[in-house]
């Protein structure tokens, strides 16, 4: 802890922050690997990792060293100039993502904004004046005006109308609804979906990942862009570098963020196939797109993931956790689902209060989505000991809660 400056604690001062977050009554001052610590040194097992962000854990020494070295060298010059680390990071990301073009954004929402712009430009290039994009119920794509309009959750849209037009909503996993939309809406140019709906309850389509293969066929048939939102499912989270790699298809547009920067705010929108060359000079941009610092972080994280076989560990430990939870909770009307270390435990009743119980009684950080789904997003480099620790705490807590 030597030479580390902690943020001052001002418990007796009014907050000047906009009250947009429902904060829990706790704060953490440091982290190490899979654990977070309060100011008094109390240790918490982090099974949420900043909502699928810190895949390599907290205060990873190699990432910390890269950030410190780059911050002391050069943080930002703007895209008026060549940024060598940006070029290197784009090459590395394109290789693991199976894509051709990369644009670095600052968040998942901005990445999805970029995808929406690509779809609209793609439509206009074909003479379609009012292009439409198919999106899914219960989806979550962000909180900017366009992305919350694409999101299939009326709660996040409430109070922000009029929403952005141009989205056609269908039930998640319903191929017939997509085919019907194709008949009724001649101006469709793209489909935007999540391979797994994270905020919607860790939902996969009823037919599994073959849903993506069916969407690919429809997009090919109609000359649409297939666009995947892998903000949460990307960067090793599901046991593949990107979730679509559980199939044999490749999307035209791929978005990501969260684990891409391990806590550093950066995202990306990528293209291949029909998506290549749609955006040209002057069509898109961002002041902070691919800074030297952010790009070096991305490059460093991918390098660590490759050298340490992190994705394979996520697949192995995730399968183990799911199997153990299913076995040990078999008699409690609980459904456990997920891929890799993106896991949902669906309880037979609403369980939002388990967030507080897990934190206060079991010193474990989780969250609950869709009302009754405990969502687990632990570190991708979780050890066997930590996995067993997490399983033990969760099983004990859920059994007590359902008793």
Q: Assess contact for 155 and 217: CB atoms under 8 A.
A: no
140 is in an annotated binding site: yes
For residue 309, give both structure tokens.
């076989």
Task: Report the first-to-last Cα separation within the chain, whole angstroms.
Answer: 43
How many whole angstroms separate alpha carbon 346 and alpha carbon 338?
Answer: 11
How many whole angstroms separate alpha carbon 42 and alpha carbon 44?
Answer: 7
Judged by DSSP in three states, 181 sits in: helix
β-strands 335-339, 342-346 pairing: antiparallel
286 is in an annotated binding site: yes
Q: Assess contact for 338 and 20: CB atoms under 8 A.
A: no
Q: Alpha-carbon Rg of the chain, whole angstroms?
A: 21
231 is in an annotated binding site: yes
DSSP string of 208-232, one letter each residue: TTHHHHHHHHHHHHHT-EEEEE-TT
Judged by DSSP in three states, 96 sits in: helix
Backbone angles phi, psi at 179, to 5 degrees: -65, -35
How many whole angstroms separate alpha carbon 226 and alpha carbon 224?
Answer: 6
How many whole angstroms separate alpha carbon 381 and alpha carbon 386?
Answer: 10
Cβ burial, residue 221 (10 Å; 0-12/13-18/19+): exposed
Cβ burial, residue 285 (10 Å; 0-12/13-18/19+): exposed
229 is in an annotated binding site: yes
275 is in an annotated binding site: no
Q: Assess contact for 326 and 180: CB atoms under 8 A.
A: no
135 is in an annotated binding site: no
β-strands 43-46, 364-365 pairing: parallel
152 is in an annotated binding site: no
193 is in an annotated binding site: no
199 is in an annotated binding site: no
For residue 200, give both structure tokens.
């919607």
Q: Assess contact for 145 and 160: CB atoms under 8 A.
A: yes
How many whole angstroms separate alpha carbon 60 and alpha carbon 99?
Answer: 28
Q: Assess contact for 134 and 104: CB atoms under 8 A.
A: no
β-strands 188-193, 225-229 pairing: parallel
- The binding site consists of 108-109, 140, 143, 229-232, 286-287
Binding residue ranges for pyridoxal 5'-phosphate: 108-109, 140, 229-232, 287
* Binding site as annotated, residues for N(2)-acetyl-L-ornithine: 143, 286
């Amino acid at each position: 802890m030597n030479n580390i400056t902690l943020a001052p604690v001002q418990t007796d001062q009014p907050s000047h922050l906009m009250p947009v977050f429902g904060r829990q009554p706790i704060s953490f001052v440091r982290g190490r690997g899979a654990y977070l610590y309060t100011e008094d040194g109390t240790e918490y097992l982090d099974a949420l990792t900043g909502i699928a962000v810190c895949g390599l854990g907290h205060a990873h020494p190699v990432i910390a060293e890269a950030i410190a070295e780059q911050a002391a060298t050069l943080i930002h010059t703007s895209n008026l100039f060549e940024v060598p680390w940006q070029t290197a990071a784009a090459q590395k990301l394109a290789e693991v993502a199976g894509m051709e073009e990369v644009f670095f954004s600052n968040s998942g929402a901005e990445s999805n904004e970029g995808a929406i712009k690509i779809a609209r430009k793609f439509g206009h290039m074909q003479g379609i004046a009012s292009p439409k994009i198919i999106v899914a119920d219960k989806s979550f794509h962000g909180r900017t005006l366009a992305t919350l309009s694409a999101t299939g959750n009326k709660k996040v849209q409430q109070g922000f109308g009029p929403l952005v037009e141009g989205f056609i909503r269908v039930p998640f996993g319903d191929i017939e609804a997509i085919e019907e939309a194709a008949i009724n809406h001649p101006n469709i140019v793209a489909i935007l979906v999540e391979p797994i709906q994270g905020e919607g309850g860790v939902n996969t389509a009823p037919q599994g990942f073959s849903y993506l293969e069916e969407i690919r066929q429809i997009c090919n048939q109609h000359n649409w862009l297939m666009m995947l939102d892998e903000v949460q499912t990307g960067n090793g989270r599901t046991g593949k570098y990107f979730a679509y790699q559980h199939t044999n298809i490749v999307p035209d547009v791929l978005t990501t963020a969260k684990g891409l920067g391990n806590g550093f705010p950066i995202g990306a929108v990528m293209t291949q196939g029909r998506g290549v060359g749609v955006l040209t000079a002057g069509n898109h941009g961002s002041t902070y797109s691919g800074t030297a610092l952010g790009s070096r972080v991305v490059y460093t994280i991918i390098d660590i993931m490759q050298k340490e076989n992190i994705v394979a560990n996520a697949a192995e430990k995730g399968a183990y956790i799911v199997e153990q939870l299913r076995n040990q909770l078999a008699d409690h009307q609980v459904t456990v689902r997920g891929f890799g270390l993106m896991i949902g435990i669906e309880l037979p009743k609403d369980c939002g209060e388990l967030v507080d119980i897990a934190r206060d009684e079991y010193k474990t950080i989780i969250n609950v989505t869709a009302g009754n789904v405990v969502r687990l997003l632990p570190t991708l480099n979780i050890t066997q000991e930590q996995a067993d620790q997490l399983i033990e705490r969760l099983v004990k807590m859920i059994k007590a809660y359902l008793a």
